[in-house]
Amino acid sequence: MPLKRRQFFRDLGLGSVVLWSSSGPVGGSSPASVATSVQTSSRLRYSHRKMKADVVVAGGGLAGVCAALAAARNGASVVLIQNRSRLGGNSSSEIRMHALGANNPNELRLWRETGLIEELKLTDAATNLQRSFAMWDLMLYDKVISERLIHLMLDTSVIDARVARQKVASVTALCPLVEESYDIQAPFFIDCTGDATLAAAAGARYRYGREGIDAFGESLAPPVGDRKTMGNTLLFFARKHDRPMPFAAPSWARVFQKDDFKHRPIHSWEYGYWWIEWGGNLDTIRDNQKIRHELLRCVLGIWDYIKNSGQHPSSSHWALDWVGMIPGKRENRRIEGDYILKQNDLVEARSFEDRVAYGGWPIDDHPPGGIDLADAPPTRYIHLKQPYSIPLRCLYSVNRPNLLMAGRDISASHVAFASTRVMATCATMGQAAGTAAAFCLQHGLTPRELVRKTEMLQRYQQRLLRDDQSLLDIRNDDPDDLARSARITASAETQEGPAHRVIDGWNREVGDGVVHQWRAPMTPAAPWIELRWQMPRKLSWIQLTLDSGLHRRLYLSGQDNEYYSQIRGPQPETIADLAVLSETNGQFAPLAEIKNNFLRLIRIRLPGIHTAALRIQIHRTQGDPLARIFEIRCYS
């Protein structure tokens, strides 16, 4: 059973969630109640604390952030462990990679991910008009610490795990900044470290490197398997000044010639190049510092070429503004699950009964040699014609039944991983894993048992849909959704967007030629849509799924052509101001009001009313001439 909230939270003055210290239980608001061990020896000894939660998430990239948010919002207490001072992983200000996903190729433009990653992107677009990666970090931090059931541990690394009866019983973590170590127990653990650090410490089975063609019959696999991976990348930012800005490379920088860029074009220099890649022939964990130094040699050598080769004279007023010092990783260990996702699953868009997320980024396989291979393209790029499903069986360990995973370390072949690895896809897997952990906790199941119990699996998938996670070819069939039994009318509607579409089961466009939303022209009279039941219903909350322009790209970018091709700010299709009204004695009275909204998913708590009818009245959009609602749900 989940820990009770009063058991999980202790008032330590700073909102900490430490449950036990080395000297016993900790609680109360008085500093005297916080028992700590005082060392009198001159030798440094770390203090040790014991902690408990329902779910431990290791890794604070986008997969880990979404896993923690999903678990907490579904009622589980969570400890989120991040080994750096910032959340976001490769998308953070430390690395600054694009959070790409399924809709980046033109043929899949409809399929931008929804759910938590959409909430994060919409929040950033609306509140980070200054185009700051540091503000992206801060937004992620705010989202996490604003959840009462999450205890965030920054600058803390998982260094070991204890296993009992084949399950992960606890992890050992270390925070040098406060000279403390921790033993953290939980019924469920989620590895979102990218490197599968927790899984490796717990003895979970994993794969490393590239499988040969004989392993799974993948046509894109190398003839013989090996332990090579994709390399790492360091990015840079540059800025134009009002005067010439000279640059002298250090003596240890690499020297590049024009022929080195035959397959690596230099078109602009405000944002670095993903193809500055190296280290795939090494161990991207143990050789991390060597890889970083070589990438710095490459970055400074390329900037020297841009500035001083004479090939790019318009760079004269440009200067480096920022250079990454943490290599952006692509590939390392991949944890084995009950199913290994493979090339044909992606190419054929195979449908899995236990599908919980989807991908669509091309099979984007980079050669291990990276920038050293000047005569070869920096990637093999195989476009996919449609999105593909990711099953839950790829998100839990084959031999550690309470260990889930999300992100770069899921159960996939190297070829399939070349598509699943991008961050928006990783984020949806994080939401699926976090929701699965909370759901399994509530129902006394392991993830494997959840897959095998068809009725429970369908309930879990409906939970994902309710939380705005899109699942291919699965529509709203939630028996608790009272809106599905209502009669729908509206003050106005367009021919292609009739009012009844808000309960047709689809909360987005799915490429079938049908508009799955109510549309009505915005007028001074304020269009409305009404739900009416034969008998009064008790309502505790309603949920609206709005249009946020999923056919467009949306992500923070330092690259000008990527950034300025987007709509930064609230998306114009989204409803900004609305009112909820309920009918009493034939008259409608206001219940709730929303102003200045920019999110796709809105949940509105109601004071336990009994009503036979609800109206949603639209007062303003973020610029679109139509009021648009994909779905309305009602719950008691």
| Residue pLDDT, tens place only, 502-552 | 999 999 999 999 999 999 999 999 999 999 999 999 999 999 999 999 999
Contact between 146 and 139 (Cβ < 8 Å): no
- Say how many CA atoms lie within 13 Å of 126 toward its Cβ: 18
CATH code, domain with 525: 2.60.120.260
CA separation for the pair 2, 54 (Å, rounded): 6
- As a whole number of Å, the CA-based R_g of the chain is 26
Name the one residue in this structure whose structure tokens are 């927790």. Answer: 198
Q: How far apart, in Å, are the Cα atoms of 558 and each of 107, 132, 209, 302?
A: 24, 9, 31, 18
Domain containing 251: what range? 232-323
CA separation for the pair 196, 204 (Å, rounded): 9
Question: Vertex 60, ends 421 and 37: CA angle to 5°?
Answer: 150
Element (H, E) at 540: strand 528-546
pLDDT at 619 over 90: yes
CA separation for the pair 159, 191 (Å, rounded): 13
pLDDT at 42 over 70: no
Looking at the fold, whether 94 and 202 belong to one and the same domain comes out as yes
Q: How far apart, in Å, are the Cα atoms of 606 and each of 122, 585, 593, 610?
A: 25, 19, 11, 10
Looking at the fold, whether 308 and 355 belong to one and the same domain comes out as no
pLDDT in tens, 97-146: 999 999 987 778 889 999 999 999 999 999 999 999 999 999 999 999 99
Report residue 16's pLDDT band, with 50, 70 and 90 as the boundaries.
Answer: very low
Q: What is the pLDDT of residue 585?
A: 84
Residues recorded for the chain? 636
Q: What is the pLDDT of residue 584?
A: 85
Once rounded to an integer, what is the mean pLDDT over residues 325-346?
98
Contact between 520 and 489 (Cβ < 8 Å): no
Which residue, of 474, 495, 515, is where some domain finishes?
Answer: 474
Looking at the fold, whether 239 and 200 belong to one and the same domain comes out as no
The answer as to whether 19 is a domain residue is no
The answer as to whether 36 is a domain residue is no
Looking at the fold, whether 69 and 198 belong to one and the same domain comes out as yes
Closest listed residue to residue 88, CA positions, set 125, 153, 132, 136: 136
pLDDT at 28 over 80: no
How confident is the prediction for the chain on average, in pLDDT?
93
The answer as to whether 33 is a domain residue is no
| Neighbouring C-beta atoms of residue 118, cutoff 10 Å | 24
Looking at the fold, whether 458 and 513 belong to one and the same domain comes out as no
Looking at the fold, whether 211 and 347 belong to one and the same domain comes out as yes
Looking at the fold, whether 306 and 441 belong to one and the same domain comes out as no
For residue 470, which phi and psi values (nearest 5 degrees)?
-75, 135
The answer as to whether 34 is a domain residue is no
Looking at the fold, whether 145 and 82 belong to one and the same domain comes out as yes
Q: What is the pLDDT of residue 625?
A: 98
Report residue 38's pLDDT band, with 50, 70 and 90 as the boundaries.
Answer: low
Name the one residue in this structure whose structure tokens are 């058991």. Answer: 7
Q: How far apart are the first and last CA of the chain?
A: 24
pLDDT at 467 over 60: yes
* Lowest model confidence (mean pLDDT) among 40-44, 331-335, 478-482: 40-44
Instruction: Report the DSSP beta bridge partners of residue 480.
Output: none
Closest listed residue to residue 549, CA positions, set 103, 106, 63, 124: 103
Which residue, of 303, 323, 343, is where some domain finishes?
Answer: 323
Show the tokens assigned to 144.
């996490």
Once rounded to an integer, what is the mean pLDDT over residues 284-297?
97
Show the tokens assigned to 31.
């500093």
CA separation for the pair 488, 631 (Å, rounded): 12
DSSP 339: S
CA separation for the pair 409, 426 (Å, rounded): 9
Looking at the fold, whether 346 and 413 belong to one and the same domain comes out as yes
For residue 244, which phi and psi values (nearest 5 degrees)?
-60, 140
The answer as to whether 279 is a domain residue is yes
Give me the percent of the chain exceeding a pLDDT of 70.
93
Contact between 191 and 409 (Cβ < 8 Å): yes
Q: What is the pLDDT of residue 40?
A: 54
Q: What is the pLDDT of residue 30?
A: 35
Instruction: Report the DSSP beta bridge partners of residue 226.
Output: 210
Show the tokens assigned to 517.
């939303």
Question: Vertex 146, ends 143 and 147: CA angle to 5°?
Answer: 95
Q: What is the pTM of this model?
A: 0.93
Which residue, of 305, 323, 341, is where some domain finishes?
Answer: 323
H-type alpha helices, 105-163: 116-127, 133-145
Name the one residue in this structure whose structure tokens are 């290994």. Answer: 340
The answer as to whether 58 is a domain residue is yes
Looking at the fold, whether 252 and 210 belong to one and the same domain comes out as no
Q: What is the pLDDT of residue 39?
A: 53
Query: For the chain, how many structural domains are there in total?
Result: 3
Once rounded to an integer, what is the mean pLDDT over residues 149-166?
98
Give me the percent of the chain exceeding a pLDDT of 90.
91
pLDDT in tens, 199-253: 999 999 999 999 999 999 999 999 999 999 999 999 999 999 999 999 999 999 9
Looking at the fold, whether 90 and 162 belong to one and the same domain comes out as yes
CA separation for the pair 91, 424 (Å, rounded): 10
CA separation for the pair 87, 83 (Å, rounded): 9
Q: How far is CA 269 from the centre of its chain?
A: 28
Looking at the fold, whether 245 and 213 belong to one and the same domain comes out as no
* Lowest model confidence (mean pLDDT) among 99-113, 414-428, 449-463, 468-482: 99-113
The answer as to whether 17 is a domain residue is no
Once rounded to an integer, what is the mean pLDDT over residues 564-580?
97
The answer as to whether 365 is a domain residue is yes
Closest listed residue to residue 147, CA positions, set 302, 15, 237: 15
Between 38 and 381, whose confidence is greater?
Answer: 381
Element (H, E) at 167: strand 167-175
